[in-house]
Amino acid sequence: MEIRDQHPSDEEMLAYADGELPSRRAATVRAHLGACWACRGRIAEIEGGIREFLEAYRTELDGRLPPAAGPRALLKAQLKALPKPGTFGMGPRLAAGLCAAALSIFGALLLSRPARLSGDAVAVPKASLTPGDTLPLTRTGVCQMPGNQLAELVPVSVRQTVLRRYGIENARPDAYEIDYLITPGLGGSGDVRNLWPEPYTNTVWNAHVKDALENRLHDLVCGGTLDLGTAQRELATDWISAYKKYFHTTTPIAR
Amino acid sequence: MAATPPDSAGLDLVLAVRASAAASSGGAEHEPEVLAIFDQLRGPLLRYALAIGLRIPEAEDIVQEVFLALFRHTRLGRPRDNLRGWVFRVAHNLALKHREAARREVQRGAGSPEMPSSEPAHPGPGPEEQLAHSERHARLRAVLRALPEQDRQCLYLRAEGLRYREIAGVLGMSLGAVSLSLTRSLARMRRADGG
């Protein structure tokens, strides 16, 4: 029972072309198309429209996609850092991760406009962008870490992501160090939420000063006089205040 | 706003966290799978997020969140018969939530010095804003801009290869509504092209 004379509607033609028609109805439409030049023309028009839209869509967007390598590495690191289900202390950490995620989304939003930050403005990272992020390491793990793991280089792609999150465009390579808020030596992760662009110049509170604080905290943690979580919090909350507190000074000690 | 459930992705995440507390399996074996899906779908997801008006850093953040959620999802042994649809649904919901937050933030006050108040929250850098490569693209752009948002989203999702059923799932529409929406949009583009 063929219905040769009933032209399929546009909707049916599209569904047919998209392979979305039930098989019996598809067979009817196919038979009709075989017999009807007008409908073959219509379906060609529909396909032409799709092609044109798709070309415009892809041309426009594909050129804007950043390379995948950086985001892929970041995802991999984040997956590795996710605590295993059922292990001790997982709940709060996951919850913290979610908070950080929410903060980071919000932070990225703030940054979607070029943020004209002066050098000193980022001596302390923005809590919304860099709340700090840690790997699930214990004190023993941190203190047994070989020295060469302490100074992990930040990959170029991650560096770019961090600068972009802070709205810094076209930075000279030597203008900023991408620094860990919580140092890897104290369990800080390589997640962008634990990274911020620290200016090399024009700031008293620079990376070298922070290094000194990190070494001091590392010594205290591994010497058993300071809890690892506290050390991490000190770095994440306000490292400059922490420096003043642990070095009993209001200005960086010359080295 | 489109009549989509804006919070279901967040809910999924919360559920994932709760349920994962009870799960006993590790999860390392899911990592290659999640990375493989990332390789396959990061481009499509990013394009979709940009098309519906997000900027690149936000879109990248959302994509990261989506795949972290996917990792938890697979680790919990949840349904995996249509992960592509699932991934797009989570991305879509996160994107809408994000846009909504951006809008509220802008409304709340031009207080932040980093936000020039003259600039709108999202100057719509979707294809509809930037296709002016040619006259035909300009016409197409005008038609796209005039389409209801949900019709545009249907088109973008279909352009990313989603089946009608998947689109219906992402946007919370019926199958018939997806089919009609696509037909309507393509007809409008054709008319604009002919006229």
A84–B contact, CB cutoff 8 A: yes
The DSSP code sequence of B128-172 is: HHH-TTSHHHHHHHHHHHHS-HHHHHHHHHHHTT--HHHHHHHHT
Residue A46 CA to residue B81 CA, distance in Å, equals 31
| Sign, Cα dihedral of A228, A234, A236, A239 | negative
Say if CB A40 and CB A33 are below 8 A apart: yes
The pLDDT assigned to B77 comes to 75
pLDDT digits (tens, 9 = 90+) for A156-180: 778 888 888 888 877 766 677 778 8
ipTM, two decimals: 0.74
What proportion of chain A, given as a percentage, has pLDDT over 90? Answer: 25
Per-residue model confidence as pLDDT tens digits over A46-83: 999 999 999 989 988 998 899 999 999 999 998 888 77
Looking at chain B from residue 23 to 62, which residues have their Cβ under 8 Å from any Cβ of chain A? Answer: 23-27, 31, 34-35, 38-39, 42-43, 46-47, 50-51, 55-58, 60-62
Is-above-0.80 flag for pTM? no
Interface list for B 130-189 with A (CB within 8 A): 130-131, 133, 136-137, 140-141, 155-156, 158-159, 163-164, 179-180, 182-183, 186-187, 189
Look at residue A224 in the predicted model and tell me its pLDDT.
84
Give B102's contacts (C-beta < 8 A, 6+ positions apart).
Answer: A109, A112, B121, B122
Q: Which residue has the higher pLDDT, A122 or B62?
A: B62
- In this structure, what token pair is assigned to residue A227? 């809890």
Within the 7-46 window of chain A, which residues sit less than 8 Å (CB to CB) from chain B?
10-11, 14-15, 18, 20, 45-46
* Residue A5's pLDDT band (cuts 50, 70, 90): low
Residues of chain B with pLDDT under 50: 1-25, 111-125, 131
Taking contacts as CB-CB distances below 8 angstroms, the residues of chain B near A133 are none
Chain B CB contacts of A56 under 8 Å are: 127, 131, 133, 137, 140-141
**pLDDT for residue B8:** 40
Say how far apart CA B65 and CA B54 lie, in whole Å: 15
**Using one digit for the tens of pLDDT, what is the confidence trace for B48-87?**
999 999 999 999 999 999 999 999 888 887 777 788 999 9
Q: What's the mean pLDDT in A9-14?
A: 94
Select the more confidently predicted residue: B2 or A207.
Answer: A207
Please return the burial class of B13, using the count of CB atoms within 10 Å of its CB with bins 0-12, 13-18 and 19+.
buried
- With CA atoms as reference, the chain A residue closest to B97 would be A105
* Average pLDDT over every residue of A210-218: 85
Q: Which residues of A touch B57 (CB under 8 A)?
A: 108, 111-112, 161, 164-165
What percent of chain B has a predicted confidence (pLDDT) above 90? 48
Give strand pairing partners of B3.
none
Question: Looking at A15-29, A91-105, B127-141, which range is the least confident one?
Answer: A91-105
Arithmetic mean of pLDDT, A130-148: 76
Closest CA to A251 of A198, A202, A203, A205: A205
Tell me which chain B residue has its CA closest to the CA of residue A75: B64
